[in-house]
Amino acid sequence: EPEVTQTPSHQVTQMGQEVILRCVPISNHLYFYWYRQILGQKVEFLVSFYNNEISEKSEIFDDQFSVERPDGSNFTLKIRSTKLEDSAMYFCASKRTSARQETQYFGPGTRLLVL
């Protein structure tokens, strides 16, 4: 069964550094998402992306964050200048159609630690 994959599984970075988290959504999916979970807290929505544009973003998704689909397979989340509070598990998700109730398929996550 097709799966969403994410790389790296773990990333450690210094505060102020740029990081790029990579996701490969399921191949025929058109709608893409990033969520994050700070340790011990809720999974929070960051951004949704369709047709090479951001569809919706949360208040967390400020100017330090950007998303891109650089080719036909990858979907990336960039954090330009990481802060300590960016330490979290970052989940990518995708789904095939715009139907609200359609399943969002999640990747295994990237654990980001900012020192």
25 binds another protein (CB under 8 A): no
For residues 1 and 103, the answer to whether their CB atoms sit within 8 Å is no
| One residue of 39, 42, 62, 72 binding another protein per CB under 8 A | 42
Cβ within 8 Å of residue 70, ≥6 positions away? 76
Q: Does 30 bind another protein (CB under 8 A)?
A: no
Residues 92 to 111: which contact another protein by CB under 8 A?
95, 98, 100-101, 103-108
Contact 22, 107 (CB under 8 A): no
- In three state form, how does the secondary structure of 2-51 look? CCCEEECCEEEECCCCCEEEEEECCCCCCEEEEEEECCCCCEEEEEEEEC
Nearer to another protein, 22 or 95 (CB): 95
Binds another protein (CB under 8 A): choice among 4, 21, 79, 88: 4
Binds another protein by CB under 8 A, chosen from 2, 18, 56, 115: 56
Query: Residue numbers of the site for another protein (CB under 8 A)?
Result: 3-4, 31, 33, 35, 40-45, 48, 56, 58, 91, 95, 98, 100-101, 103-108
